[in-house]
Structure 1
Amino acid sequence: MRKVITVLLMLFAMFQSYEVFAQDLLKASDLSTLKVDNLTESDLLKIKSQLQSNNMTIDQAEPMALAKGMSVTEFAKLRSRLVNQQGNGGTSNAKSLAEGSERKQEKISNTKVKDTENALVFGSELFDNPTLNFEPDLKLATPVNYVLGPGDELQISVYGVQEFNASIPVSVEGKISIQYVGQIAVSGMTIEAATQKIRNAIAGVYSTVRSGQSQVGISLSRIRTIKVTLIGSKQPGNYSVSSLATVYNALFLGGGPAKNGSYRNIELLRNNKVYRTIDLYRFLVKGDQSDNVGLKDNDVIRIPAYTQRVSVEGEVKRPGIFEMKKGETFADLLSFASGFNELAYTASVNVMQKTAKEFKVKDIYTSEYASYKPLSGDVFRVSKILNRFENRIKIDGAVFRPNTYSYYEGMRISDLVSKADGLKEDAYTKRARIIRLKADLTTEIVNVNLEKALKNDAEANIVLHKEDVVTVYSVLDFKEEYKVTIDGEIKKPGNYDYQQNLTLNDLLIQAGGLTGSASKRVEIARMIQSDEINDKNQDKAQLFNLEITADNNEQVKNFALEPFDVVNIRRMAVYEKPEMVTVTGAVPYAGKYVLVTKRDKVYDLIQRAGGLTSLANINGVKIKRPIQGAQIEALENVNLNLGKKDSIQDKLTKKLKEDLKYATIPVDWKSITKNPKNSSNVTLFPGDEIEVATFTEGVKVAGNVLLNSEIPYNSGKGFNYYLNAVGGVDAKGWKKKAYIIYPNGKADVAGSFLFIRSYPKVMPGSQIVVPEKPERKKLSAGEWVGFGSVISSLALLIITAFK
């Protein structure tokens, strides 16, 4: 009986431990007997709820559970079951358990407004750039002077023999509550002082901390949000910022100073007193962030109106509007503007000042830069240096180094030629030209005898002035450019330079030699030169007829050419390359054939191709002749007098160029076979294509008919039969203008006589085409009225005339 009671007590204790563990993991004193496999889903939900209420993760709870006797194996099972349960629907809990101790802060943002009013004010761009937000870096170590307050959260860990881990927020009363330790007031204390206080409090509970066997780690895991107020900014108001935020961060959120706000006398008010005066120019000019101090809850940033602003325009590196403090000089202003640029005139600066009644102008010289104190409203204008040189002189022409050189007092023409490395071989030494700028800015020409000047002749070797431009002529400048012309059967016809002793042989070689069609005859035309006019001689040129050996580009006599000679190489009397035509269709030997004679005709070529086959349509022989460029050009040159706005001629030209690649010539083969001298037996041209159609019994009907189709040929049936066979013409069809195209390319159109309409004969292989009716503009009501009035007037005139 005693054994039974002992077993029951053990079972009761086991179930009791399960229930205690499930109800409060942190308060259970002994977890050595816990079996995770026996926990229900409800027990797991209670454990997760307990961890969340204590702001703990499962990993943070591990040291505590192991310290209370729970085995590593059982805790691994517990972690696995919790994670699996989170995957089956506890997404938000899984996220909470998986989060580490990374420092957090509420996201603070503000929409930036582009500053257009203050665009020229120096420093305004600082608050328009979204990449310059001065947000504190949450990953940096916590500053030791950071003051704790409600909303902060501390991560407290005990590690070593004894272990403890918890994230504990600072309550609104400024206290933190640590399990088994109690409440500790930390508000208003620095993180360094609070760490020492918390460590001492934990040491009073954890003996191993007191003995040094366990260590205490305290860090800031969540940063509180504080309220600051901005006055005088572009977006004034109350702002929630990080407790690590600085003045610059708050100014950026507020958009910076307003239209008339100061950039140099910004006040940070703390406890109703001016804690610090911020000068943004220290940061803008020097990068000094000493004014970028941290903010505290309920701080006020006041931006007063500026007291003194000046403008800088012109040749400085950073023109704009600048704010000046009392005692600052123009030299300070120049440093704000980053100094003069490369083209600035630095000897003096013009400033426009404002008096009580009007403006006045003042010049500030270099010696006054460090002493002149700008006045409010001053406008400084920095001008450009003059576009002129104080010591420039130039030489060009027939010298080795034409260039611009530095001038010195007493410089002579020989000195400048020496600087240019002397004269070239083609220099004309009898005269050089100097273009000189006079005192009244007009120019004059001074001529120099270079030959004497370079021999140190005192009179010729004149003294130069600054801005002189010396030109040394070349003898080649006075030489006329001579040409000769060669044309005809030469590979590279054209104009060539004439050199002394140039011969016909030299020119032939220079022009690439003769073509294969060149004859032995050469004609050379030479201009006639005479100082007197001979009315009896009407010749304009002198002709020379020579003979050359065409196969070696040499003439019997080496003829000397003269300037402006024109050489013509004549073509051989007979020199024609074989030219071909094409025969296609129903012939035995279709293909390309060479025109043997100049008068080869259709009949000759078809006979050479073997004649017509049994399948050939004797009514389907035609010639397709390519349209030549000369035909298009002739049409373009013809004036049809159609008016400027009429496009008929342009359409015709375009059709010939793009659509119609060839013209069709119908051939009456029956007439040719009876009489080869028939006019249908035309003479062929190179490129012609003779097409012999294959016999077909169908008649195609196309155009504006109900059904485009091909109808079998029915002997004796007329035009209307085939139109009716395809359903007749449609609503837009123009039957009276219908036409037929025969197999040989010939066309015929319907006609009428005395109201009797006749249609062309239909043959096998023909094509009937029904065109579309042209659109007609209907008369408006006004036009009908006008037409009626005209008829009425005419009727009245007729009646009056017969009375």
Structure 2
Amino acid sequence: MKKIIYVLILFFTFLLSYNVNAQDILKGKDLSTIKVDYLSDDDLAKISAQLKSNNTTIEQVEPMALSKGMSQTEYDKLKVRLNEYSAGLNKGIEGKSQKEEDKSGFGRKQNKIKNNKVKDSTNVLIFGSELFDNPTLNFEPDLKMATPVNYVLGPGDELQVSVYGVQEYNASIPVSVEGKVAIQYVGQISVSGMSIEAATQKIKAAIAKVYSTVRSGQSQVSVSLSQIRTIKITIVGGKQPGNYSISSLATVYNALHLAGGPGKNGSYRNIELIRNNKVYKNIDIYRFLVKGDQSDNVTLKENDVIRIPAYSQRVTVEGEVKRPGIFEMKKGETFADLLNFASGFNEFAYTASVNVLQKTGKEFKVHDINESEYNSYLPQSGDVFRITKILNRFENRIKIEGAVFRPDYYSFTEGMRVSDLITRAEGLKEDAYSKRARIIRLKTDLTTEIMNVDLDAALSGDLNADIELKREDIVTVYSILDFREEYKVTIDGEVKNPGVYDYLENLTLNDLIVQVGGLTGSASKRVEIARMIKSDIIDDSDPKRIELVQFEITADNNEQAKNFILKPFDVVNIRRIAVYEKPQMVVIKGAVAYPGKYVLANKKETVYNVVMRAGGLTSVANLEGMKILRPIKEDQIEKLKSVDLNLKTDTLNNKLINKLENELKFSTIPINWEKIVKNKNHYSNVTLFPGDEIEVAVYNEGVKVTGNVLLTSEIPYRSGKGFKYYINAVGGVDSKGWKKKAYIIYPNGKADVTKSFLFFRSYPNVEPDSQIVVPEKPETKKMSTGEWVSIGSVLTSLALLIVTAFK
């Protein structure tokens, strides 16, 4: 018993090792134990998936498999089994898609017919070619439709015969090559050449002889077409002529679509369907294209031939038709038929006559077809019909404009006069100038002339004044407002909305003040009005250019007792009162007792006064760190921008402009508080302006070192230590640092630079809360070897000249 258990354990361990190896054949170290015969389909699926994930094939992994111990025999077996597995998998996929296709056809099957469409660029203008070039169009028979009752059975068809009721029977029976169907227990029944309806009756009668319940009516018989046969036809003269295997339900248009339609010179109107060596039907595709008539689209039969002969007549239609192109004409068809094929004239076509370019045996000739000939003219092969546009002119247009209620274009009739046109335009406006109207007339030679009309006389019934109009006349009725000059008045000074305003008759100063929004609170009682001088005589002794009118008003009232009447082009100026200044403020912040905003109480308010009003300095204030930040005005920035700094690059210029506009919002004024306390008249005790900010820094014992140094840092202030000490304390300058141009910024905004004299360099003193800045060296271009050689040559030449001169 123990031996049996031991053997079973070894056996399962052996199988497990195969399974593990099969799952990871590419990663296994020892493949000598692999036995391909024991691998299942799941194992093969995993190996195939592993190969696919690594983007390799079984042939590519052969060296690796052999190097890991797999024998050549086992490898060959694995290769064969993987190929068989892949083939079976593809076949299963095809079978599945076929089943899905069968399912979509409701059980009725038909061999798929494919044909690669070739776009015909040569015949693209031929009417009807798009029917066969468009790949989205398809004339394939619908397998879901009911079987036509006149469908004729033949070898290759398959019938679904079912008996249901008391007795049941169901089978798919093919029609044999002899044209018979074999039904179990019933025998063979000949159905070839019979319609599906007749064959159904014959099969029911034969089954009724065997199934008694069918005879008694207890069971029913159903016969349907489940498999449709394929027939062979021939197409001659198409773009892709040849033999085609198509559905037995296919029609002529289906076959023509497969062949790409008629060829380059093929006819679209005289296609022959030949059956049993006789012309069975003449097909005219235009009947379908123009009328939608499918009477020519008959069902095809085995060995049918579709012959597409060459066309007999083709003509071209160009220009203003709805469907220009090349059209095929039959004998006896007129231009009216051709126009119908082209869907008629479009809305811009000239329809009175059509120009035709005809071809004779030797040359071209031109012929005009009048509208009365459209139903009788017979187009000839090669004719080119050109339909032109109507003229851009009007046969009965007339226009009135100006001071009438409805200025517009109107229809012209013979005998129309000026008064008639004014009546149609709803009459004259109130501002119409009735003494004169203008008529611009187009003469027969297309030049224009002007005529004048007395409207008062014309409207009162004077026929001599009421001129008779002609086509394309333009009547202009003037307005009295057109003759008036556009007068203006100007008001400036202490009003809400100063500017230029329209002058109106009898306009007064009160009217104008109210129109501009009234006086401001700073308006004084003084008003000055400048008025132009008009005179026909030049007086050189009078130096005045204008007339000045000065008077006083009540400043706090828009309605003046003395209502001054204005004249055109007057300039009114409301003066400002002598003393009118709104409170303005400055800001103080930092180490003061009461920081905040303070109003400038005096016209010459100084720094000392505001600091004292703010409670004085606190104990932590840095006396050396006081400064004023004064806002830079826009006009100052514009002046700086306008200065030509002669910079070499636009980039530097743009950077400077950007800094002026966005960064430099304040200018700094250093303050020496100790000097101010000792002497109130010291220059540091500056007068403040509105918007100034006084900053009082808090005492800080550190010294900041920034710029091109190894470490940007803040070093504690040490009394007696100089400029170089703090630079060395941060590691010195870096490779780009310009030490001799280093500078210091003191807490109050004042700055000092390093000075040089001969070989001596003096550095500025360092104070607490200062900032040392080391700038960057400017870029310099090093001289090339050639330039050094050139300089050496020049120096050598100079030396030779000097030696020669002193000999």
Q: Alignment partner for residue 694 of structure 2, among 690, 693, 696? A: 690
Alpha-carbon distance in structure 2 between the residues aligned to 1:794 and 1:335? 102
Alpha-carbon distance in structure 1 between the residues aligned to 2:507 and 2:358? 80
Alpha-carbon distance in structure 1 between the residues aligned to 2:698 and 2:474? 87
With normalisation by structure 1, the TM-score equals 0.82
1:133-148 correspondence to structure 2 within 5 Å: 133-148=138-153
Equivalent residues of 1:587, 1:610 under 8 A apart: yes
Match of 1:445, SS state, is strand
Opposite residue 772 of structure 2, the aligned amino acid is I
1:363 to partner: Cα distance: 0.7
Please state if 1:563 is matched with 2:581. Answer: no
Q: Which residue number corresponds to residue 117 of structure 1?
A: 122
1:111-190 correspondence to structure 2 within 5 Å: 111-170=116-175, 175-190=180-195
Alpha-carbon distance in structure 2 between the residues aligned to 1:91 and 1:441? 80
Alpha-carbon distance in structure 1 between the residues aligned to 2:609 and 2:527? 40
Q: Alignment partner for residue 708 of structure 1, among 703, 708, 712? A: 712
1:151 to partner: Cα distance: 4.7
Q: Which residue number corresponds to residue 373 of structure 2?
A: 368
Q: Alignment partner for residue 478 of structure 1, among 475, 480, 483? A: 483
Equivalent residues of 1:548, 1:554 under 8 A apart: no
Q: Alignment partner for residue 680 of structure 1, among 680, 684, 691? A: 684
Alpha-carbon distance in structure 1 between the residues aligned to 2:231 and 2:781? 82
Match of 2:400, SS state, is strand
Q: Which residue number corresponds to residue 661 of structure 1?
A: 665
Please state if 1:739 is matched with 2:743. Answer: yes
Please state if 1:624 is matched with 2:629. Answer: yes
Q: Alignment partner for residue 394 of structure 1, among 390, 393, 399? A: 399
**Structure 1 stretch displaced more, 152-161 or 319-328:** 152-161
1:339 to partner: Cα distance: 0.8
1:783 to partner: Cα distance: 4.3
**Structure 1 stretch displaced more, 425-434 or 692-701:** 692-701
Opposite residue 435 of structure 2, the aligned amino acid is K
Q: Which residue number corresponds to residue 319 of structure 1?
A: 324
1:299 to partner: Cα distance: 4.1
1:113 to partner: Cα distance: 4.5
1:335 to partner: Cα distance: 0.7
Alpha-carbon distance in structure 2 between the residues aligned to 1:506 and 1:378? 81
Match of 1:723, SS state, is helix
Q: Alignment partner for residue 455 of structure 1, among 460, 463, 467? A: 460
Q: Alignment partner for residue 293 of structure 1, among 288, 295, 298? A: 298
Alpha-carbon distance in structure 2 between the residues aligned to 1:539 and 1:229? 110
1:334 to partner: Cα distance: 0.7
Alpha-carbon distance in structure 2 between the residues aligned to 1:571 and 1:612? 41
Opposite residue 640 of structure 2, the aligned amino acid is L
Q: Which residue number corresponds to residue 750 of structure 1?
A: 754
Match of 1:268, SS state, is strand
Deviations 1:488-527 (A, max 9, x none): 1111222222222221111111111112221111111111
5+ residue gaps, structure 2, are 1-91
Alpha-carbon distance in structure 2 between the residues aligned to 1:253 and 1:620? 97
Opposite residue 200 of structure 1, the aligned amino acid is A
Deviations 1:574-606 (A, max 9, x none): 222222222233333222222222322333333
> In the comparison of the two structures, how many residue pairs are matched?
714
Match of 1:501, SS state, is coil
Equivalent residues of 1:433, 1:447 under 8 A apart: yes
Q: Which residue number corresponds to residue 206 of structure 2?
A: 201
**Structure 1 stretch displaced more, 528-537 or 315-324:** 315-324
Identical columns (%) = 74
Alpha-carbon distance in structure 2 between the residues aligned to 1:749 and 1:193? 120
Equivalent residues of 1:547, 1:556 under 8 A apart: no
1:346-365 correspondence to structure 2 within 5 Å: 346-365=351-370
Alpha-carbon distance in structure 2 between the residues aligned to 1:322 and 1:508? 81
Please state if 1:767 is matched with 2:771. Answer: yes
With normalisation by structure 2, the TM-score equals 0.81
**Structure 1 stretch displaced more, 661-670 or 442-451:** 661-670
Q: Which residue number corresponds to residue 603 of structure 1?
A: 608
Please state if 1:615 is matched with 2:620. Answer: yes
Opposite residue 324 of structure 1, the aligned amino acid is M
Alpha-carbon distance in structure 2 between the residues aligned to 1:238 and 1:664? 99
Q: Which residue number corresponds to residue 3 of structure 1?
A: none
**Structure 1 stretch displaced more, 376-385 or 748-757:** 748-757
1:90-105 correspondence to structure 2 within 5 Å: 101-105=106-110
Opposite residue 593 of structure 1, the aligned amino acid is Y
**Structure 1 stretch displaced more, 519-528 or 703-712:** 703-712
1:629 to partner: Cα distance: 0.9
Query: Per the alignment, do residues 636 and 707 of structure 1 end up closer, same or farther by CA in structure 2, a change over 3 Å counting?
Result: closer
Alpha-carbon distance in structure 2 between the residues aligned to 1:128 and 1:434? 60
Opposite residue 711 of structure 2, the aligned amino acid is L
1:778 to partner: Cα distance: 4.1
Alpha-carbon distance in structure 2 between the residues aligned to 1:229 and 1:777? 87
Alpha-carbon distance in structure 2 between the residues aligned to 1:786 and 1:240? 92
Opposite residue 691 of structure 1, the aligned amino acid is E
Alpha-carbon distance in structure 1 between the residues aligned to 2:732 and 2:402? 88
1:350 to partner: Cα distance: 0.6
Root mean square deviation, CA, Å: 3.1
Q: Which residue number corresponds to residue 79 of structure 2?
A: none
Alpha-carbon distance in structure 2 between the residues aligned to 1:349 and 1:318? 16
Query: Per the alignment, do residues 721 and 273 of structure 1 end up closer, same or farther by CA in structure 2, a change over 3 Å counting?
Result: farther
Opposite residue 507 of structure 1, the aligned amino acid is L
